[in-house]
Structure 1
Amino acid sequence: MRWLFRLFLILLLALGLVGFGMVERDPIIAKTEPPSSKDVREARALVQRVRFLSRAPEASEQVLEVPAATLEGALRMGARMVPGFRGKTELEEGQLRVLVAAPIPRTKGAFWVNLDVSVPSYTGELQLDAVRIGRISLPPALALWIGRVGADLFMGSGSSEAIMTAVEQLDVTPEQITARLDLDVSQRSEIAARVFGTLRGGTLPSAPEIDRYYVAIREALDDGRLPTRGSFIPHLRFALEMAAEDTGADNRANAYTAAIFALAEACGASEFGLISERLVPDWTDAGRDWQRGCSKVTFANRIDSKRHFVTASAIQAASNRGVAVSIGEFKELFDKTRSGGFDFTDITANNSGIRLANRMMGAPAEEWPRLLGRIQTESDVLASFEGIPGLMPRKEFDARFGSVDSPAYRAMLDRIETRIDGLPLHATP
C-alpha cells in the first residue's frame, strides 16, 4: 500500500508538471561529456576526504574544499548512474548555480524536467536564492518545503533534517566551494543507508541478519565444508541455499541481500567494507579468530574475477542497476591510469554478478529451487571472457574505444550483455 500511495503521488505530480508548464520539450543544457579517469580519481579522493572529516573529533575541523572542476566531474559521474541525466554547475562570488535536466521516463527524450537552482553562501541550514522548474519560478521557501516533504516521503522520516543540516556553512567563490560539515560517522552512514534503501525500494537487512549468514560461511570454511582454493561456485551455492531456506513471499530480497552481503564481506573486494559500513553501520561482521578464508578462491581461475562478481552483486542488491554498473565502470576508469589499465573482463564479471542479483531478487520464492538447480558450474553464472579485451593501458583503450560514451564502447557492453543473456541461469526455459 505504501508503494501504491507513492505511485499515485508520482502520477499526480507528473500530471501537475505537464499542466503547469514544468515539463519542457528540450533539456536546459547540452549533452554532457562522459566521466574521465581524472573525474573518477578526484571523486574518489573527495569521498575519502569526507570519510576522514566525519571522524574528526571537533566539528570545526570538518572543512571540505571542492574545486569547480571536481563538481563538474561528479555531475558527469551522476549521469552514468541515471540514464539521460545531465548536470552542470556555475560558480560566482557568493553564488552556486546548479542546472539539471532529466528525461521523463518512457518518452524517449521527448519531454524533460529542467531544474535551475541558485544556492548562496550561507551559515546555518541550507538556503536557496532562486528555483526554477521548467518555465515556472518557485519561491525558495516553497521549494525547500517540497524538498523536505519529498525526502521524508521517499527516504523515511527525518531524512530531510539530516540532509539539510549536513553542511552548516557554505562559501562560494568562482574557483571552488568550501563547506563546513556537521556530520559524524553515524549520520553519514544513516544518510547513505537511506539513499540506497530508496534506490532499492525498501530497507536493507539488519546487522544481526547479515551476521548470521557471515558466521555460517566462516564456520563452513573453518570446518572444511567450503574449500579455501578452487572454484567460487560452492561458496555461492552455500550462501544462496541458506537464503532459499529463509525465503518467503515477503523477504526474498532481504534474504538474498543478507546472504550476498555476508559472502562479499568474506570473499569479495576489500573495498566492500567501505560500502557496508555506510549501509549497515551496526554490522560488526561477527569478528572472531577465524582460521581459514576464501581469499584464494577463484572465478575463471582468477581471484579478481570472484571479487568483482560478488561485490557487484552485493552493490546491486543494495541499490539499483545504474549504481552497480557505474561503480564497476568507475573502478575501471580509475584503474586505467593507476593500476595498469581498463579491463573489460572485469566489467564482464561485474555485470554477471549484477544479473545474478536481478534474477534471484526478481524471482518468486517458489522458483528459487529451480534457479539454484541451474547453478552448478561457473559457466552457468559467469559469462565467458573469450574474445573480451583484458587489461589495456590507457593509450590502447583511448585508441580502441575513446570514451565510455563511444559507439565502440557501447557495442562491447552489448556483446557482454548478450553473452550473459545466454547463460543457463538466465536462459528462457
Structure 2
Amino acid sequence: MRFTLRLLLFFLLILPFACVLLIWLALSSKPAVPESANLSHLDIARAEAILRQNNPRYLVPGTLHSITINQQDLSLAANYLLHRTGHGGARIDITENAMQVESSIKLPAIPIPTYLNVWLAVEESEGQPEITKLKLGSLTVPTFMANLIVHELLTSTKQTREYQLAHSVIQQFNLQPDRLNMTYQWRPDQLGELSRHFISGADSTILLAYHAHLMALQSTGTAMSGSAANMMKPMFKFAQARSIMGDPIAENRALLLVLGAWASGHGMSTLVPTEIRHPWRFSLTLEQRIDFAQHFLTSAAIAAGADISLSNAVGVYKEVSDSKGGSGFSFTDIAADRAGTRFGELATASPENARRVQKLLSEGVQEKVIIPRVGDLPESMPENVFKQRFGDVGSAIYLSQMAVIEKRIADCKLYKGN
C-alpha cells in the first residue's frame, strides 16, 4: 500500500513537468515555414484551368473522373487554408508514392509569437494515405500514435456532413513525383449540398432575412435605381437594428453576400437552396456607372465572406482576361474592386468596426465616403496597349498606378485611420 501511494505521488509530481517538457519540445518561437498566402492573378488562372478541365456541366452523374494537382498548387491551397483559419505557412513535396508536408501555425492568444511546426510524411497504401512519420517541433510522435490520432479525428467527424460528402465523392488518390492524382465520382446532388454548406459561415436564416428586406425595399420603389450608396442606408439601418441582439460581423457579412450575389447576377440560389422571388435586375450605380457598383459590391462580398487576397486576385485576373479580347484592362474597375474589398474587410474586421460601418452607413453617406473618384483612370486597354503603357502586372509603372488608387481609397472618410 505504501509503495502504491509513493508511486502515485511520483506520477502526480512528474506528470506536470513531463507535460511542460512536451509542450516546450513541440512549440517554437520561429516558424519553420513563413506565412505566404497571397493569391496572384496567375494563381486564379491556374485554378480556373483546373475547373474548366473538370467542368461538371459536361460530366455524366455517377461516372468516375480524375484530376491532377501539382505540388505547387497544393502548397498554394494549403497556404490559403492556413491563412483563412489563422496564420501560418505550408510547403508540400511529392515524390513517388510519398508526400512530405511541412507547416507552421501561429498560435493565437499568446503574447509572444509562438508557432507549432509540423512535419508530416504520408505514403500511398492501396490508394489510401498512411502516415509514416509525424514531428511536432523537435518532438517525434510514434507512428502508431500519429495514425491513432488521425483515425480518432476522422472517426469523431465521420457523422458530420462535410466528411460524409467528401468521402462519397473522392474515391481514390495516388502520389507521383510533383503531383497528386485523385479519382472522384461526379454526384451533382451532394456536391451542390456541400457547396451550400460551406457558404462563408453565413447562416441561411440571416441571408434570407436580408434578401427579404431587399425585396421589401424594392416593393416600395427603393433599391431600384440611383446610387448604390443610397440603397445601403436602409440595408445597414436594418443590420444595425438586428445587431442589438446579434453579432454585427455576421449581420454585415450576410448583408454584403446578398448584395454581392444580386450585383453579380448570380442570385440567392448560389447562397441558399430555396425557392424564393428574385430582386429586379441590378441597375444601381457608383459614379453613375452600373459596372462600378457591380465591381464594388461583388468585391465587398468576396472580402466579407471569403478572403481579401482572393478578392484582389479575382479583380486583377478579370482585367487581364478582358485585355485579351474582352472589354480591355481597366484601372477604373480595379479601383472599384479595391474599394469594395476595403469596404468588405472593414465591415467584418471586428465588432467595433462592424458597428462603426453600420452607424455611418445607416445615417446616409455620399459616394465619396466609400469609393474615391475613379472615372479618370486608364481603362478599356487591349493587351497590346496595356503592355506598351504598363508592361506586365507587377511592373514599376503598374505598381505606381496602383499606389495612386490605394492613396485615393485611403483618403476616403470611411477608411481613414483603418
Whether these two folds match at TM > 0.5 is: yes
Letter in 2 for 1:227: M
Deviation at residue 169 of structure 1 after TM alignment: 0.6
Shift in CA distance, 204/352, structure 1 to aligned 2, threshold 3 Å: same
- The equivalent residue for 2:360 is 371
- The equivalent residue for 1:7 is none
- The equivalent residue for 1:173 is 176
Residue of 228, 234, 239 corresponding to 2:235: 239
Provide the identity percentage.
14
- The equivalent residue for 1:9 is none
Shift in CA distance, 191/134, structure 1 to aligned 2, threshold 3 Å: farther
Shift in CA distance, 227/233, structure 1 to aligned 2, threshold 3 Å: same
Deviation at residue 388 of structure 1 after TM alignment: 7.2
Shift in CA distance, 347/233, structure 1 to aligned 2, threshold 3 Å: closer
Letter in 2 for 1:328: S
Deviation at residue 336 of structure 1 after TM alignment: 4.9
Residue of 307, 310, 313 corresponding to 1:327: 310
Deviation at residue 16 of structure 1 after TM alignment: 6.4
Deviations for 1:48-102, whole angstroms, at most 9, x for unmatched residues?
55662897411x4232222344434545656775786333222211122222234
Deviation at residue 354 of structure 1 after TM alignment: 1.3
| 2:285 corresponds to 1:298 | yes
Aligned positions, number: 388
- The equivalent residue for 1:132 is 135
Query: Which has the higher mean CA deviation after the structures are superposed, 408-417 or 325-334?
Result: 408-417
Letter in 2 for 1:339: D
Residue of 411, 419, 423 corresponding to 2:411: 419
| 2:61 corresponds to 1:57 | yes
Separation in structure 2 between the aligned mates of residue 133 and residue 189 of structure 1, nearest angstrom: 37
Query: Which has the higher mean CA deviation after the structures are superposed, 239-248 or 380-389?
Result: 380-389
Query: Which has the higher mean CA deviation after the structures are superposed, 148-157 or 75-84?
Result: 148-157
Query: Which has the higher mean CA deviation after the structures are superposed, 349-358 or 69-78?
Result: 69-78
Separation in structure 2 between the aligned mates of residue 402 and residue 153 of structure 1, nearest angstrom: 50
SS in 2 for 1:282: coil
Shift in CA distance, 35/164, structure 1 to aligned 2, threshold 3 Å: same
Letter in 2 for 1:382: I
Letter in 2 for 1:101: S
Deviation at residue 170 of structure 1 after TM alignment: 0.6
Deviations for 1:295-353, whole angstroms, at most 9, x for unmatched residues?
x321133333312322233334434xxx1x11212213423531224744134322333
SS in 2 for 1:300: coil
1:25-424 equivalences in 2 (<5 Å): 25-29=29-33, 35-47=39-51, 52=56, 56-58=60-62, 60-75=63-78, 85-104=88-107, 111-122=114-125, 126-139=129-142, 142-143=145-146, 146=149, 157=160, 159-160=162-163, 162-163=165-166, 167-181=170-184, 184-185=187-188, 187-188=190-191, 203-206=201-204, 209-218=206-215, 220-221=217-218, 224-228=221-225, 230-266=226-262, 268-270=263-265, 277=270, 280-284=271-275, 286-287=276-277, 292-294=280-282, 296-319=283-306, 323=307, 325-340=308-323, 341=329, 343=331, 344-355=334-345, 357-358=347-348, 362=352, 370-385=359-374, 393=386, 401-402=394-395, 415=407, 418-420=410-412, 423=413
SS in 1 for 2:411: helix
Separation in structure 2 between the aligned mates of residue 54 and residue 171 of structure 1, nearest angstrom: 24
Deviation at residue 411 of structure 1 after TM alignment: 6.1
Letter in 2 for 1:299: L
Q: Which runs of 5+ in 2 are unaligned?
A: 1-18, 324-328
Shift in CA distance, 358/254, structure 1 to aligned 2, threshold 3 Å: closer
Separation in structure 1 between the aligned mates of residue 389 and residue 111 of structure 2, nearest angstrom: 34
Separation in structure 2 between the aligned mates of residue 149 and residue 158 of structure 1, nearest angstrom: 17
Shift in CA distance, 262/329, structure 1 to aligned 2, threshold 3 Å: closer
Deviation at residue 378 of structure 1 after TM alignment: 1.0
CA contact (8 A) 1:226 1:235 kept: yes
Shift in CA distance, 247/37, structure 1 to aligned 2, threshold 3 Å: closer
Q: Which has the larger radius of gyration?
A: 2
Deviation at residue 30 of structure 1 after TM alignment: 6.7
Deviations for 1:362-416, whole angstroms, at most 9, x for unmatched residues?
4687x7874345432112222444897767736755668449xx99799668636
Deviation at residue 179 of structure 1 after TM alignment: 0.4
- The equivalent residue for 2:16 is none
Query: Which has the higher mean CA deviation after the structures are superposed, 331-340 or 367-376?
Result: 367-376
CA contact (8 A) 1:101 1:113 kept: yes
Separation in structure 2 between the aligned mates of residue 141 and residue 47 of structure 1, nearest angstrom: 37
